Structure 1
Amino acid sequence: MKQYDVAVLGGGLLGRLTAWLLADQGCKVILFNAGKRNGEDAAAFAAAAMLAPTAEAVEATPLVVQLGYASLPIWRQWVDSFPTPVFMQQNGSLIVWHPQDHALAKQFSQHLQRAHQDSSVWQVWHNQEISEHEPQLAGRFQQGLFLPTEGQLDNRQTLLALADVLDRQQVSCHWGRSSDLAECAALAHWTLDCRGYGGKGNWNSHGQSRLRGVRGEVLRLYAPDIELHRPVRVLHPRYPIYIAPKQDKLFVIGATQIESEDDSNLSVRSGLELMSALYTVHPAFGEARILESMAELRPTLNHESPEIRYDTQNRVVTVNGLFRHGFMISPTVSIATVRVLQTLMQQQSLPDAQACYHIDVLPVNQNGEAD
């Protein structure tokens, strides 16, 4: 006799969200997470939690951008419903650059224009507008691009709030406890695999994994002399560097994007680049205190978009591939995942791509590969 309707493998951001949504709709859910309740071992623990579909449209796939825009109002609704306070800000974001990087700014603007037919999603700010809205950047940048719809969350508050919500929904959460598909199959009618990079072995195709880890490095600083009212991105020759101001003078600085599955400590090169770019934004950052430096691997599929797979024979649904957009797209991805799972549980035909926010939903064949 199965004790649960669904067993969730992985308690990072996506695992917590899907477990919560399933429980909220009446499912009896058990969740296994090898890491801690506070999410310390999840990629989401190191994230800046920026909700930035306009800026990400420069490099992200159209699907990811669509999911990002659809997720913004959902986050606001969810954060307002959480019993535990979560910092959420939607003051837009500001893109700036130094004179020597004017060519990068021109290229960035061209990408924005190609990605967005509606030019109202960004505004050109000159020195006067920058000084008015971000006084501490006055005179430091002659021009910038303001993206008014963008926002951010506190990543760690969100992870803890979701753990609290799971407790309230009576989800049986096993923190610091590994599990596998066999154990989940013995306990529940269906298994939902949300293990991110930890599930890499289940994404093989023709002998090679379609899932890879992309290294991202982040600094967390305490800067009492700096006040920013929104995230600021500095265009950089290697990667855009963002400064995300959180509460209590805490700033998250990131993030490198390196094609490597090495999750060891921050490299000297990356540290120098992040901190030197930060110092050029304002010299007062030179007196900031480094609280943490972190490196995490973002689970990335070969097409750099999320994907949901299902195996009706073994009753397993697997979702992965959020890449660097975890917080930005996780609401819509989790809702689509729950829709797929509920449809399978009811033995109905799967919803079409339109109903699943255009996320690829693929059956798995007898070799464990997507058809």
Structure 2
Amino acid sequence: MSLQPSSFAILGAGLMGRLLAVELARQGHRVDIYDAGGPAAENSAATVAAAMLAPLAESAITEPGVVRMGHHALTRWPELLAPLSEPVFFQQAGTLIVWHRQDVAEAQRFTRQLENNQRSLPELPPLQKLDSGALEQVEPALAHRFNQGLYLPGEGQLDNRQLLAALVVEMERLGVRAHWNTPQSPDAFTPGALGQPDRVLDCRGLGARGQWGALRGVRGEVARIHAPDVTLQRPTRLVHPRYPIYIAPKEDHLFVIGATEIESDDRSPASVRSTLELLSAAYAVHPGFAEGRILELATQCRPTLPDNLPAIRQTRPGVLEINGLYRHGFMISPAMLDVTLELLNTGQSPLSERFDLRLELEPTAPAPTGVAAPAFA
């Protein structure tokens, strides 16, 4: 069963909002999208991200359902990127995990955790333990710098900013009406009334805290560095008890480096302490970063629910809220997209059960008197 052509108002033009706008417009729906910022997505957590697609690596800090969502994304991202008219860097060369000798105990604990997770999620490719020789073959740039490591095949990454820009181009091509610098809340709409959209999809992240009070911000800090002397070929993570970092190589020797995760919605510039730790750890992975150029030190807050898991809920007839993607936005957004499309098309989502995704589909408020209550099927 497919959804009959209808009209949508999408609130929030971050990653989820743009993905939904493009897919719904492709299905023939009329789509208006509203955002407090502009096309550059300056208010979106998606702008400050490494965009790594690393389900097994992330299994150390999240639930199996999220890991299954990440595995789903490895197939879906190429399908979502293929129709875009603008190129988006995408790589699926696996993840490398390394550590220094003094951190062997922490690395052994981390390895055991990944192995346990692997056994419970057999659909993921098994990790590979590397000695110094195998490590040199997988990542020549780290030859003689580490004695051992782990290789997680099949994991990937993409360029977050290229994708956000390409989705804007695609929205324009498909006739999506974008209302930039125009913040809106669900209260501004009466779905199903004359002159109103049939459905409202709220994807505002932390902008939705007025409606979803449980949301909190979790601060992240990243550095974008141009380092011509560094030739890492795939995302690399450093195991460390105090400041584990990830290094995600993009095109043309651009690297996105991050580590910090702070329970705060403070969006002020990065602190000197966290910047020193971040750059020192990157230098410890590869000395070529010393001659790199810092293009940007950026901070942003990820929208996070109390259990650190995403959720979809219907607050009143015709209004669906998608939120709580936390630090896994690019890894789980294709799954969240597909679940939302299932709900819109049929009113049900078998995928949500596979992903253990929390759905709250009983409206908490009735439709206004005299207004038809649009269903999601």
Distance in structure 2 (CA, Å) of the matches to 1:9 and 1:120 = 37
Q: Is residue 2:18 matched to residue 1:16? A: yes
1:335 aligns with 2:333: no
- TM-score for the superposition, normalised by structure 2: 0.90
| Aligned mate of 1:166, from 165, 171, 183 | 171
Moved more, 178-187 or 349-358: 349-358
Equivalent residue, structure 2, for 1:362:
360
Distance 1:239 1:333 in 2: 30
- Checking the alignment, whether the CA contact within 8 Å between 1:87 and 1:153 is kept in structure 2 is yes
Which of 264, 275, 279 aligns to 2:279? It is 275
Report deviation, 1:295. Answer: 0.8
Residues 360 and 353 of structure 1: CA distance in aligned 2, closer, same or farther (over 3 Å):
farther
- Deviation (angstroms), 1:357: 4.1
* Equivalent residue, structure 2, for 1:326: 329
Instruction: Pick the aligned partner of 2:207 from 192, 195, 198.
Output: 198
How far apart, in 2, do the equivalents of 1:342 and 1:120 lie? Answer: 32
Aligned mate of 1:286, from 260, 284, 290 = 290
Matched residue type, 1:283: P
Distance 1:327 1:190, change over 3 A: same
Q: Distance in 2 between matches of 1:239 and 1:19?
A: 37
SS of structure 1 residue aligned to 2:184: coil
Q: Distance in 2 between matches of 1:24 and 1:258?
A: 38
The answer to whether the Cα contact below 8 Å between 2:202 and 2:321 also exists between their aligned partners in 1 is: yes
Opposite residue 342 of structure 1, the aligned amino acid is N
The aligned counterpart of 1:346 is: none
Aligned to 1:220: 224
- 2:210 and 2:310 map into 1 onto residues whose CA distance is 17
Q: Which residue of 1 aligns with 2:259?
A: 255
CA RMSD, aligned part only? Answer: 1.9
> C-alpha displacement at 1:283, in angstroms?
1.4
The unaligned stretches of length 5 or more in structure 1 are 204-208, 344-348
Q: Distance in 2 between matches of 1:239 and 1:29?
A: 43
Q: How do 1:1-80 residues align onto structure 2 when only pairs under 5 Å count?
A: 5-80=7-82
What is residue 373 of structure 2 aligned with on the other side? Answer: none
Q: Deviations over 1:160-200 (max 9, x none)?
A: 11111111111111122212223343631111000001111
Rounded Cα–Cα distance in structure 2 between residues aligned with 1:69 and 1:194: 23
Contact 1:83 1:161 in 2 (8 A): yes
Partner of 1:350: 348
Aligned to 2:7, the other structure's residue is in SS state strand
Q: 1:154 to 1:335 in 2, by over 3 A?
A: same
Q: Name the aligned partner's letter for residue 196 of structure 2.
A: L
Structure 1 residues 225, 239: closer, same or farther in 2, change over 3 A? same
CA shift, 1:341, in A, is 2.7
1:115 alignment partner in structure 2:
117
- Letter matched to residue 69 of structure 1: H
Indicate conservation of the 8 Å contact 2:316/2:363, yes or no. Answer: no
Distance in 1, matches of 2:18 and 2:308, equals 22
Give the partner amino acid of 1:180: S
Match for residue 103 of structure 1? 105
Q: 1:356 to 1:13 in 2, by over 3 A?
A: farther
The CA deviation at 1:52 is 0.4
Correspondences of 1:80-159 after superposition (within 5 Å): 80-117=82-119, 118=122, 120-159=125-164
Aligned-residue sequence identity (percent) comes to 47
* Cα distance in 2 for residues equivalent to 1:174 and 1:356: 35
Query: Aligned AA for 1:320?
Result: N
Identify the residue that residue 369 of structure 2 maps to in structure 1.
none
Q: Is the 8 A contact 1:336 1:357 kept in 2?
A: no
* Cα distance between partner residues in 1 of 2:49 and 2:352: 29
Query: In the superposition, relative to structure 1, how do residues 229 and 351 fare at CA in structure 2: closer, same or farther (>3 Å)?
Result: closer
Secondary structure of the 1:257 match is strand
The one of 306, 312, 327 equivalent to 1:308 is 312
Q: CA deviation at 1:307?
A: 0.4
Separation in 2, partners of 1:134, 1:241: 17
Q: CA 1:333–1:177 in structure 2 vs 1: closer, same or farther (change >3 Å)?
A: same
- Matching residue of 1:176: 181
Q: 1:105 to 1:46 in 2, by over 3 A?
A: same
Pairwise CA distance, 1:268: 1.2
2: CA distance, partners of 1:357 / 1:27: 27
Structure 1 consecutive aligned stretches of length 4 or more whose deviation exceeds 6 Å: none
Give the 3-state SS of the residue equivalent to 1:262 in structure 2.
Answer: coil
Aligned AA (2:118): H
| Equivalent AA in structure 2 for residue 200 of structure 1 | R
1:187 aligns with 2:196: yes
Cα distance in 1 for residues equivalent to 2:267 and 2:362:
30
Letter in 1 for 2:348: L
Superposed displacement of residue 141, structure 1: 0.3
Aligned to 1:192, what secondary structure does the other structure show?
Answer: strand
- Give structure 2 stretches of 5+ with no counterpart: 367-377
Cα distance in 1, alignment partners of residues 335 and 22 from structure 2: 14
Q: How many equivalent pairs are there?
A: 355
